[in-house]
Structure 1
């Protein structure tokens, strides 16, 4: 199975909610982020993707590394994503750009009305909920 290396962000807004994005032509909501380029440190890849997709200018060194997670890729059949996940607390307003078609802020409650990428559903949101209750 082909593995896609990505860096993604668990963005926490001032109100405690987290931001999910949906790429153009897809159905599943997921963390903002994207593919890590050859030789690129994961935190830099995450910061680059946030700038491209949402207009966020973030300091990679301020991101808290949360761990490495693997899941079935949401938009590339037969592929798996290997994700380096970082937490960032933000107070900027996102400006969807590049391939981002839709954004949504969610809290730790019910998100069953959204189609979620496997990584977001199985790894990231349970971690987010645990962080919110600790």
Structure 2
């Protein structure tokens, strides 16, 4: 199997509420908490994929005008051993209550200033959380 076929392209969101809490999800049959989002289908743009996933998984709509593209990040895939996820991350404010649907088994909120005891996917642990913490420091300036 080539290096390219061992990569999974996804779009994911740093969703924060008015209290600056970060929303994480756990999909059915997995132990890891991660950002909402999912795989980018062939011919689909990253933000289009994210919009589709947020609607399917949490009943949310997303506006490109409200989104902030944070960059592309790679990490070992949490649920597919030997694979790497390459994620386009977007920060989005959340002003409605998410409703878990589709494959989402559980949601969790991370509070600013508290350590997480949740099992976190590598992308979340290594990239999303540090980015969220950096964004919190920018807000407080």
TM beyond 0.5: yes
> Of 114, 128, 131, which aligns to 2:118?
114
1:49 maps to what in 2? 53
TM-score (norm 2): 0.91
Structure 2 residues not aligned, in runs of 5+ = none
Q: Is the 8 A contact 1:43 1:61 kept in 2?
A: no
The 5 Å alignment of 1:97-108 reads 97-108=101-112
State the alpha-carbon separation in 1 of the partners of residues 115 and 63 from structure 2.
31
TM-score (norm 1): 0.96
> Of 5, 8, 11, which aligns to 1:7?
11
Structure 1 residues not aligned, in runs of 5+ = none
State the alpha-carbon separation in 2 of the partners of residues 20 and 26 from structure 1.
13
RMSD: 0.9
State the structure with more CA Rg.
2
Question: Is residue 2:83 matched to residue 1:84?
Answer: no
Question: Is residue 2:123 matched to residue 1:124?
Answer: no
Post-superposition offset of 1:131: 0.7
Regions of 4+ moved over 3 Å: none
Post-superposition offset of 1:63: 1.3
State the alpha-carbon separation in 2 of the partners of residues 126 and 58 from structure 1.
23
Deviations 1:8-28 (A, max 9, x none): 000011111010000001000
State the alpha-carbon separation in 1 of the partners of residues 95 and 63 from structure 2.
13
Size of the aligned set, in residue pairs, is 133
